[in-house]
């Protein structure tokens, strides 16, 4: 028989070793992909079955697992099935990250296999083969343990490990009566199948313990469920601050129902400042400027789902008055529309720090046109300083790794 041809009795034995190895690897990869897709499709069905109960604390862990496994299948269905306006975006982010996680597993596995193989190659006696089997099993065990450890950290431990980030910002023209104002920012609480009410109550207790003068909420209070709107917004009734709480809406609030969100915020007495403003003095908030010793607390609509109108937000604000601007999406800092306006500090959320941050490469997935720039923390934008909260909840996928949830404590200092 010609060298390299396939024989039904001899299989690939007559092929050159490299070609036989390649065919075997291809067949194996094909079966793995097929099995993976079948599992993923099944998990998508499980995820859909869990939709009616996904807000129940007991159902949440199962929903999260099914959601993660269903990602590849969802990605395949993306061109034909649309589940809300921006799903292709989300699917792309989540799928890329899940592929990265699988890639990481295989990388660890392959590295370990490489070392164990090269050690065992010289001899083929019984003892060496026994050692090879042991080393192969050990490398699989170590890879699995690594993935299980990283998974437990990312899915169970880190999402609950709330960090407090402190900032001190010098503000020009800040009235003496507001010097040292303690502003606490929380963002992206995302009540829904990934985040429980018990966790959000713990976050609110922590915020209250910080004794804030002012609390700023920078959007995305729900995830994947209009039924979550009620509890996800009404929970902010428990926030306590000396001068008040102010908020803007995020893209998820618009996707579920901006009208219902506005109604609920109205019921709990928290003003929304989307394309609007309030004046803050030592006595509290007013909608009309009646005390020159004030700071303007303004907001703009969400960049993806609403109009961004700084002209409305800053209408009639005296030029010498300092301004804090709330914008859910930090990319607003780069808009030319903002150029004519004075902004002393912008507060944003939305990017969640990418939710997964790897050593050296940073966050692989950041929902921003400016890459890593607005992934989290204090950033100098064209219009001024921007504090980007990494958020307290999860949205893209039920995992946080290297990006713990956070509460921002910002002290405004007279410059």
CB of 391 to Fe ion, least distance (A): 6
Q: In angstroms, rounded to a whole number, what is the distance separating the alpha carbons of residues 164 and 162?
A: 7
Site for Fe ion in 34-63 (CB under 5 A): none
Q: Which is nearer to Fe ion, 47 or 188 (CB)?
A: 188
CB of 111 to Fe ion, least distance (A): 35
In this structure, the dihedral spanned by the alpha carbons of residues 49, 55, 59 and 64, taken in order and rounded to 10 degrees, is 80
Q: Which is nearer to Fe ion, 188 or 302 (CB)?
A: 188
**Beta carbons within 10 angstroms of residue 281's beta carbon:** 18
Q: Where are the beta strands (DSSP E) in 187-300?
A: 214-217, 244-247, 276-281, 284-286, 295-299
Site for Fe ion in 155-194 (CB under 5 A): 188
> Taking contact as CB under 5 A, which single stretch among the options 134-142, 170-178, 288-296, 392-400 is the one that binds Fe ion?
392-400
> Taking contact as CB under 5 A, which single stretch among the options 193-201, 254-262, 381-389, 394-402 is the one that binds Fe ion?
394-402
CB of 202 to Fe ion, least distance (A): 19
Q: Where are the beta strands (DSSP E) in 220-344?
A: 244-247, 276-281, 284-286, 295-299, 323-326
Which residue's C-beta sits nearest to Fe ion? 220
Site for Fe ion in 312-371 (CB under 5 A): none
366, 326 in Cβ contact below 8 A? Answer: no
Q: In angstroms, rounded to a whole number, what is the distance separating the alpha carbons of residues 353 and 97?
A: 14
Q: In angstroms, rounded to a whole number, what is the distance separating the alpha carbons of residues 343 and 224?
A: 33
| 178, 239, 395, 407: residue in contact with Fe ion (rule CB under 5 A) | 395
CB of 381 to Fe ion, least distance (A): 19
Check binding of 274 to Fe ion (CB under 5 A).
no
Phi, psi dihedrals of residue 101, rounded to the nearest 5°? -65, -45
Q: Which is nearer to Fe ion, 192 or 212 (CB)?
A: 192
CB of 396 to Fe ion, least distance (A): 8
Cα 257–46–105 angle (5° rounding)?
A: 100
CB of 54 to Fe ion, least distance (A): 18
Which pairing describes strands 284-286 and 276-281: parallel, antiparallel, or unpaired? antiparallel
- Would you give the binding string for Fe ion spanning residues 197-236, x where CB under 5 A is met? -----------------------x----------------
Q: In angstroms, rounded to a whole number, what is the distance separating the alpha carbons of residues 155 and 400?
A: 6
For Fe ion, how many residues bind (rule: CB under 5 A)? Answer: 3
Q: Which residues bind Fe ion (CB under 5 A)?
A: 188, 220, 395
């Amino acid at each position: 028989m010609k060298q390299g041809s396939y024989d039904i009795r001899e299989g690939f034995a007559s092929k050159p070793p490299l070609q036989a190895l390649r065919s075997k690897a291809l067949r194996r990869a094909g079966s793995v992909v097929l099995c993976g897709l079948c599992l993923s499709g099944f998990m998508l069905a499980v995820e859909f079955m869990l939709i009616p109960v996904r807000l129940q604390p007991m159902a949440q862990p199962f929903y999260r697992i099914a959601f993660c496994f269903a990602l590849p299948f969802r990605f395949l269905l993306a061109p034909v099935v649309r589940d809300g306006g921006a799903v292709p975006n989300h699917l792309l982010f989540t799928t890329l990250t899940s592929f990265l996680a699988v890639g990481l597993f295989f990388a660890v596995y392959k590295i370990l296999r490489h070392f164990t193989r090269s050690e065992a190659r010289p001899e083929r006696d019984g003892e060496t083969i026994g050692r090879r089997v042991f080393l192969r099993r050990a490398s699989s065990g170590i890879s699995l343990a690594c993935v299980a450890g990283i998974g437990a950290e990312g899915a169970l431990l880190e999402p609950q490990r709330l960090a407090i980030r402190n900032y001190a910002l010098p503000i020009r023209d800040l009235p003496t009566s507001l010097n040292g104002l303690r502003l606490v920012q929380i963002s992206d609480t995302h009540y829904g199948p990934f985040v429980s009410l018990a966790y959000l109550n713990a976050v609110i207790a922590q915020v209250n313990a910080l004794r804030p003068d002012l609390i700023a909420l920078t959007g995305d209070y729900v995830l994947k469920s209009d039924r979550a709107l009620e509890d996800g917004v009404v929970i902010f009734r428990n926030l306590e601050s000396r001068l008040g709480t102010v908020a803007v809406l995020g893209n998820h609030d618009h996707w579920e129902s901006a009208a219902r969100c506005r109604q609920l915020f109205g019921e709990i007495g928290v003003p929304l400042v989307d394309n609007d403003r309030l004046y803050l003095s030592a006595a509290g908030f007013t909608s009309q400027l009646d005390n020159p010793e004030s700071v303007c607390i303004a907001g703009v609509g969400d960049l993806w789902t609403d109009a961004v109108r700084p002209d409305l937000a800053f209408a009639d604000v005296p030029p010498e008055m300092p301004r804090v601007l709330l914008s859910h999406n930090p990319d607003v800092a780069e808009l030319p529309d903002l150029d004519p306006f004075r902004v002393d500090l912008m507060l944003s959320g939305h990017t969640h720090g990418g939710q997964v941050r790897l050593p050296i490469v940073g966050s692989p997935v950041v929902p921003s046109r400016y890459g890593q720039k607005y992934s989290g923390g204090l950033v100098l934008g064209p219009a001024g300083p921007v504090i980007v909260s990494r958020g307290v909840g999860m949205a893209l996928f039920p995992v946080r790794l290297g990006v713990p949830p956070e509460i921002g404590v910002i002290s405004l200092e007279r410059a």
